[in-house]
Structure 1
Amino acid sequence: QVIADMREKRYEDEGIGSSYMFRVDHDTIIDATKCGNFARFINHSCNPNCYAKVITVESQKKIVIYSKQHINVNEEITYDYKFPIEDVKIPCLCGSENCRGTLN
């Protein structure tokens, strides 16, 4: 977590507006801010059509995005980020009917 916090601060100092970090387990965070596949650009929704699951392939942990329902052509793919609860609330702008109002 300390390294992830340092990277977030560095990205902020470099003017990178968003970071794409995903907590895999207590000890591991995948940082896809500067490289990764298109999944790093999947937006949050409080009413998502997908979910993320961590799997292990040949001793390596991977993040897999599964659909929860049929997804139409040109429909946005979303999942619930489930950010940890922190003192500072991050506003949610997903616009779903059951929006929690915050990402955490």
Structure 2
Amino acid sequence: MVIEYVGQGIRQVVADTREKRYEVEGIGSSYLFRVDHDTIIDATKYGNLARFINHSCNPNCYAKVIAVESQKRIVIYSKQPIAVNEEITYDYKFPIEENKIPCLCGAEHCRGTLN
């Protein structure tokens, strides 16, 4: 285990509203992570360092939803030993959508998009 992705647990309708508000406020990036069909973790204003972990098409970590006392949580685990000063990354696994988000990870076999 590397770190838990923490923030406020919210519903999709709230996440949609917040995402629009964050754009208007000029925040630019929102840190919304889907736990399941009903719940999203919003780490934009109340998260920890996990929200700053970048995407990679060749990551050294992965995210997993686990249950702790029947509450779902997101945990980042390492796939391999990670060296001091090595960037921690995971694949965001965004759903496939028509509007593509360019990937800038620089991995040898980069997919070219996050979705």
What interval of TM-score do these two structures reach, taking the shorter chain for normalisation? over 0.9
Per the TM alignment, residue 85 of structure 1 is displaced from its structure 2 partner at its CA by: 1.0
The TM-score with structure 1 as length reference comes to 0.97
CA–CA separation in structure 2 for the residues paired with 1:4 and 1:86: 18
2:33 is equivalent to residue 33 of structure 1: no
Equivalent position of 2:95 in the other structure: 84
Q: CA-atom RMSD, angstroms?
A: 0.7
Equivalent position of 1:46 in the other structure: 57
Amino acid at match of 2:76: I
Deviations 1:27-75 (A, max 9, x none): 1110000011111110000000000000111121111110000100000
CA–CA separation in structure 1 for the residues paired with 2:13 and 2:43: 17
2:113 is equivalent to residue 102 of structure 1: yes
The TM-score with structure 2 as length reference comes to 0.88
Q: Percent identity?
A: 87
**Secondary structure in structure 1 of the residue aligned to 2:86:** coil
Match of 1:17 among 28, 39, 43: 28
Unaligned regions of 5+ residues in structure 2, if any? 1-11
Give runs of ≥4 in structure 1 deviating > 3 Å.
none
Amino acid at match of 1:67: S
CA–CA separation in structure 1 for the residues paired with 2:98 and 2:66: 30
**Secondary structure in structure 2 of the residue aligned to 1:63:** strand
Match of 1:2 among 10, 13, 16: 13
Per the TM alignment, residue 2 of structure 1 is displaced from its structure 2 partner at its CA by: 2.5
